[in-house]
Amino acid sequence: MVTINSYDEFALLLGKNIGISDYVELNQERINLFADATLDHQWIHVDTERAKAESPFKSTIAHGYLTLSMLPYLWNQIIKVNNLKMMINYGIDKMKFGQAVLSGQKIRLVADLHNIQNLRGVCKAEIKFALEIEGEKKNALEGIAIFLYYFEN
């Protein structure tokens, strides 16, 4: 895990790999809970029998936004930021879903510092990320996550 205490320390990571998280499983229980939370009960996510028979994946799959929503959890395994008032999710650029995550598969985060700016004392960090699927060549998801870090003075 990388520990950051200031903008200047963050800036030293520009163009470098920040880290790789542990794998986390997207099992059917997690998929069902996400479906309940978002009211997205499309059969390809929650109906295991129908998915086995009719889906091209022969399995239920995780919602794309469930996969995306794992980003903060996995990000916190890679980096610890000290001296922080708050951190805000600012946006995501060039996000692309590459491959469905089947129920029971595991994903992990690989992150590089793509760009960093000091905006009047606020650190704008652009993190190039990939959510990899264990044992697969194609990523589940990739893009550039943008965070605003407000460091203590």
Q: Where are the domains of the chain?
A: 2-151
- Residue carrying the six token digits 């992990």: 108
Distances (CA, A) of 89 to 39, 60, 71, 124, 127: 23, 29, 11, 10, 11
For the chain, helix (H) and strand (E) counts, in that order, are 6, 8
What CATH superfamily classification does 2-151 receive? Hotdog Thioesterase (3.10.129.10)
**Three-state SS for 74?**
helix
pTM for the model: 0.93
Instruction: Dump pLDDT digits (tens) for 100-139.
Output: 999 999 999 999 999 999 999 899 999 999 999 999 999 9
